[in-house]
Amino acid sequence: MGKHVLLIEDEPNIVEAIRFILARDGWRVDTHADGRSAVNAVLDVAPDVVILDVMLPHKSGFDILKELREIEATATLPVLMLTARGQTKDRALAESYGVSHFMTKPFSNAEVLEIMQTLCPA
């Protein structure tokens, strides 16, 4: 059935770009755009990997990551965090909450694929 990713991102152009890149590589891609219900979406979908934007409506990606790490079922789930602001403090905060990988926008297609294949090998 292929590897399964939940993309939590509210910018439609980024959603479509990532969906295209990953679907072409054989991933099943589900998307979600609201921070408030993101943790429930992860629990409902049970993906192999989560791609999580930092800036989301109603709740930040940092808060979502922190919540995911506090839930036994998602404590070790690979999470790739995306941000337009790649400041050191953002990276440090994400790492303190247990992010698997931190990537700044804009990114290359090859970079996304390489990181995803590392986070979820076939």
Q: What's domain 4-116's architecture?
A: 3-Layer(aba) Sandwich (3.40)
Please, what is the Cα angle at 117 between 105 and 25, to 5 degrees? Answer: 85
pTM higher than 0.85 for the full model?
A: yes
* Mean pLDDT in residue range 54-79: 97
Q: Are 64 and 39 in contact (CB under 8 A)?
A: yes
Q: In which element (H, E) is residue 91 found?
A: helix 88-96
9-25 per-position pLDDT tens digit: 999 999 999 999 999 99
